Chains A and B, each alone.
Chain A
């Protein structure tokens, strides 16, 4: 395998260095390196980060290959700077057996653009009544460590307790979709001023917060690891801060869209006195877009580490599932290709995180939560240092571009950022020393 010499890249946005990649690993990091026969890649001005790790994507395969496949989702991920993504279990059939998680894992290896790490369902068929064979999934080739009924809350407190306890045997973690189902019957958007005016059934913040409060206490009681998916409210951030101060083994993620967008999106825009775009289901998502106050609290929580990770909740949907009345549309938005840009816009440009912080929240910590950091050759979220696997992304931080959904690699088009100008372009991505993206173009 030939070597790659990356010149002039700025690790974590710091002083420029040259980096040599060979046989899947970083071999040298230093100034003015020269490697005979190496492919040279001029990365002057680009920020070098460890390959990003997503704890939360929906790749829709098996079952809804019209919306996304492992391959198309992998391509979107690579173009977004990711080298590993966790694929959620709510496929059809549900990823609740060793067979299904191994199938998804193999499809990911075949696509070869990112490591696709399957998430196993907590309960059989996501039904919330009986534990799935968590141990079989953990022992399978897919090596599942994250378990989630995402899309559904593990609402039964007794079952949740057992799940938290059971996965301790293989150092697993339960990733909870925190939504008390009895408080969100028919819910369509954040419950507040705008839901009242728009006549859409409210999804109250308390439905999320009540479950988080319960689950951190359960995790503390049984000494288990808990991960909270897509935290969306200011109250949730406060609860997590409190739990962490008590030493509860809880981690949490926030989505790019909850860092940027608010429930004002549902009202559309007023232009020349005429309101357009109201009730556009591209903004329908679960948990819903919240208020400016929540956005500020989420950013602050991500900045101070109360929230550990940014996770996309990339949720592709076919056109017919989005071009409809609001209530009929499915919840979810694309996120893989714009995640880093949104973090640059909301966290870096605002001074809340530096590039080391971005690497921590989008690579190091999510990899640690998913236990991908200790996998030797297959590890992710490792430092940019000699001997480490060469999973890297190079970002042009200055370039701003308008998002065009038609140009995205996903099979679906439901991007909430359509027409929005965002900073930060992923230029190159390397998976174990091989370029998956070069000059913004996927290599497979």
Chain B
């Protein structure tokens, strides 16, 4: 592994597979244990530096670090908006002086983790930056796919929703491609970035046509407010054309699974009965997130497993 995990492109196939294998080993080691804790990172300090509210991601990283016995500091930099640009560097230098071994950063500005990595000596883990990437989400999604379907290579994944603004989509496209999956993006043309034609994916505007071929359907969160900037006419029309409801789910093959990175807009991009169905991996994804983040912190800070 490299020093940082800033984007999915930092991982080649061997690296990515190592993370997934390590997560599996950690799961196996902790299975059935009463005390779910490993001593690996005792004495190391992990800082969760969150410039955006994200309770679920922050808790997941916190739990991951604690289960590895690291000291965890939560630094909620709330109120430190992008407009106060200097604060990121000052905060970075402060954390550096305090001896942080790893900084897990969530930030509203694309590329903020890259700048942070430029200023500190410790490891930087991107926990979501603007509309750029969220690499540990992609890793936990790949891990979930592998657990459910037994492999990632050759798996056909349909990613549907607001690709334009989605860091989850960018990380998944890159990582799933690295791991050999075939990715199809489905969205209204307004929610696909100009330049998407250069991505290693198929692009479709028709969800109904894409579903029967899919092994995995990954729904992206779509903010209803996007209609105010004319990305689509109304939440109702979006839901009708691109939402996953029971009728659409019935067109999936028997083993196909439904994923969502959360938080969901039930009734918008995903119907409640789909989210709660047996195909849904949504709750499982949350649990897998802790294991994968443990693997990432372990590999960045502790070295390769024995």
Contacts and interface: CB of A to CB of B under 8 A. Distances in A.
Contacts of B180: none
Nearest to A320: B86
Contacts of B88: 324-325, 328
Contact of B83 (A194, A323, A328): A328
A326 B89 CA distance: 12
Given A204-B194, A325-B115, A196 B129 contact: no
A329 B115 CA distance: 12
B74 to A, nearest CB: 21
A128 interface: no
A131 interface: no
A325 B194 contact: no
A4 B6 CA distance: 60
Given A195-B193, A195-B195, A199-B131, A324 B85 contact: yes
Interface string B1-38: 01000100110000000000000000000000000000
Contacts of B9: 275
B89 A323 contact: yes
Q: Which of B2, B108, B112 has the most CB of A within 10 A?
A: B112
Given A192-B194, A204-B194, A327-B130, A198 B111 contact: yes
B130 A199 contact: yes
A213 interface: no
B194 A329 contact: no
A279 interface: yes
Interface in A385-400: none
Interface in A314-372: 320-321, 323-329
Contact of A320 (B83, B85, B129, B198): B85
Interface residues of B, number: 33
Contact of B85 (A201, A279, A321): A321
A200 B107 CA distance: 13
Contacts of B84: 328
B109 interface: yes
B194 A196 contact: yes
Tell me the interface secondary structure of chain A in the complex: loop
A281 to B, nearest CB: 8
A202 interface: yes
Contacts of B170: 197, 199
- Give the size category of A's interface with B: 20 to 34
Nearest to B196: A196
Contacts of A326: 109-112, 115
Contacts of B115: 279-280, 324-326
Contact of B110 (A276, A279, A280, A329): A279
A199 B194 contact: no
Interface string A186-214: 00100111111111111010000000000
A202 B193 contact: yes
B251 to A, nearest CB: 30
A29 interface: no
A252 B84 CA distance: 36
A278 interface: yes
A325 B85 contact: yes
A412 to B, nearest CB: 15
A274 interface: yes
A202 B10 CA distance: 24
A278 to B, nearest CB: 5
Given A323-B89, A324-B88, A328-B83, A194 B109 contact: no
B167 interface: yes
B132 interface: yes
B109 A327 contact: yes
Interface in A194-244: 194-202, 204
A386 to B, nearest CB: 55
B82 interface: yes
B85 A200 contact: no
A325 B198 contact: no
Given A321-B85, A324-B88, A325-B82, A197 B195 contact: yes
Given A194-B195, A325-B88, A325-B112, 20 more contacts: A188-B110, A192-B194, A195-B193, A195-B194, A196-B199, A199-B111, A199-B130, A199-B132, A199-B167, A200-B132, A201-B131, A204-B194, A275-B9, A278-B111, A279-B115, A324-B86, A324-B115, A326-B110, A326-B111, A326-B112
Interface of B: 2, 6, 9-10, 82-86, 88-89, 107-112, 114-115, 118, 129-133, 167, 170, 193-196, 198-199
7 contacts: A199-B130, A200-B110, A200-B130, A202-B194, A280-B115, A324-B86, A325-B88
